[in-house]
Amino acid sequence: MWTKLKSVLVLLLIVLQKFGQTEAACSCAATTCDCSGIRRNALRAADVPVPTNTTVLTFQNSQATSVDAFPSLPQLRQLSLHSNFINSISSGAFTNLPLLQELSLSYNNITSIDSGTFSNLPQLLNLSLSYNRINGIGGVTFPDQPQQSGTFANLTQLQMLILSNNQITSIREGAFSNLPRLQQLEVHSNRMNSIREGAFSNLPLLQELSLSYNNITRIDSDVFSNLPQLLNLSLSYNRITSIDPGAFSNLSRLQQLEVRSNRITSINWGAFANLPQFQCAGPSISTGPLMRSNIGFGHDFYCTTASNTTAASNASNSAALVKLLLTATLMLKVFMLH
């Protein structure tokens, strides 16, 4: 009898716990709403009980695994869906958000982005997809996929795209070709081992490009040739061993170039043709006469233009030492050859 009573008590406790739980509800102040903590496997329009004049909406820690659709929120400007378990986004999920400017989907389990997922967001300025598991666009992995120009279709106002900390292995030609106003692109902390020619085509306003913390082994000629407004380029913490002539030749506005912690053994003078004069810090190189022939060395480097005052001030004290070290290196090589 005690066993039966014990079973009944356990069952009763479970029922009481279930009905005693109070699910988190959306809290709103003015036009800002926070729906964090709502337990839903899929986010649907019915799960978003917020006023239609909401301008800022946050859904995080909701345990959602998919995004089906949002209700009509014609005034919404910012939407945060970070820190969930989202692994899929239905086509048209953001159709009813015509004025959305900022969208964060970071810290989820997204593996691929289907073409047209964001096509109904013509006013979107910032899109963050960092800290996911993205390895392809349109459900096909990067190395084998055809050109997927529709992945970011109609995002003609987008200025910042964050794809860092994913599992991207390569970028196909034209992957970002529908982003004429993009200014900042972060693809660092992925698994890329090469940069395909045309990967960054049709980005006339891009100013910052981060490709650090990948597995890139070399920089081929012309991979950055279509970036006339690029100011900052980061290639640090890769496996780069050589830089081809013309690799940076058309980056006439480049102010900062970072190639720290690589495996560089040679850089051809032609790699820096038509670049502004750099100042370099540490065991490094400059674009002066010493680089008119190939120089082999085992160090990484960090260079900025004199117009970049912060970096320039750090570099000025070591510029003379840098040239002296390079000269000594060349003289030693000549001596050894004879």
CATH of the domain at 277: 3.80.10.10
Using the structure block, give the residue that is written with the tokens 């910032």. Answer: 126
Whole domain around residue 213: which residue ranges?
25-337
- Res 305: pLDDT: 62
- Res 33: pLDDT: 95
Higher pLDDT: 39 or 285? It is 39
Task: Kindly indicate the confidence band of residue 294, based on its pLDDT and cuts at 50, 70 and 90.
Answer: very low
Specify the number of domains making up the chain: 1
Task: Kindly indicate the confidence band of residue 269, based on its pLDDT and cuts at 50, 70 and 90.
Answer: low
- Res 4: pLDDT: 59
| Burial of residue 315, with CB atoms counted within 10 A of its CB: 0-12 exposed, 13-18 middle, 19 or more buried | buried
Does position 138 have pLDDT exceeding 60, yes or no? Answer: no
Give 220-233 pLDDT, tens digit per residue.
Answer: 888 998 899 999 99
221 belongs to a structural domain: yes
Higher pLDDT: 141 or 336? It is 336
15 belongs to a structural domain: no
4 belongs to a structural domain: no
Tell me the longest C-alpha to C-alpha distance in the chain: 101
| Burial of residue 192, with CB atoms counted within 10 A of its CB: 0-12 exposed, 13-18 middle, 19 or more buried | buried
- Res 203: pLDDT: 93
Does position 238 have pLDDT exceeding 60, yes or no? Answer: yes
Please count the CA atoms within 13 angstroms of the CA of 221 that sit on its side-chain side. 8
5 belongs to a structural domain: no
Distances (CA, A) of 104 to 80, 152, 175, 333: 5, 15, 20, 53
Angle at 254 between CA 250 and CA 257, to 5 degrees: 110
Torsion-angle region of 83 (φ positive above 0: left; ψ -120 to 50: alpha; else: beta): left
- Res 91: pLDDT: 84
188 belongs to a structural domain: yes
* Percentage of the residues of the chain whose pLDDT score is greater than 90: 40
Integer Cα distance of 258 and 281 in angstroms: 11
Tell me the average pLDDT across 187-213.
93
Q: What is the DSSP letter of 275?
A: P
User: Cα-flanking dihedrals φ and ψ of residue 136, to 5°?
Assistant: -165, 170
179 belongs to a structural domain: yes
Tell me the average pLDDT across 134-145.
51
Task: Kindly indicate the confidence band of residue 11, based on its pLDDT and cuts at 50, 70 and 90.
Answer: low
2 belongs to a structural domain: no
The average confidence (pLDDT) of the chain is 77
Higher pLDDT: 53 or 136? It is 53
Looking only at the bridges linking them, the beta strands covering 256-259 and 301-305 are antiparallel
Nearest to 224 by CA among 192, 170, 272: 272
Cβ of 250: how many Cβ atoms within 10 Å?
A: 18
Torsion-angle region of 126 (φ positive above 0: left; ψ -120 to 50: alpha; else: beta): beta
Integer Cα distance of 127 and 159 in angstroms: 8
Integer Cα distance of 271 and 66 in angstroms: 46
Q: Which is it for the CA torsion 182, 280, 197, 134, positive or negative?
A: negative
* Residues written for the chain: 338
Q: Are 193 and 167 in contact (CB under 8 A)?
A: no
Most confident stretch, 24-28, 40-44, 54-58: 54-58
- Record the pTM: 0.77
Strand partners, 186: 162, 210
Q: Are 137 and 177 in contact (CB under 8 A)?
A: no
8 belongs to a structural domain: no
Does position 13 have pLDDT exceeding 60, yes or no? Answer: no
Tell me the average pLDDT across 144-169.
80
Nearest to 56 by CA among 90, 38, 39, 81: 81
Amino acid letter at 244? D
- Res 302: pLDDT: 56
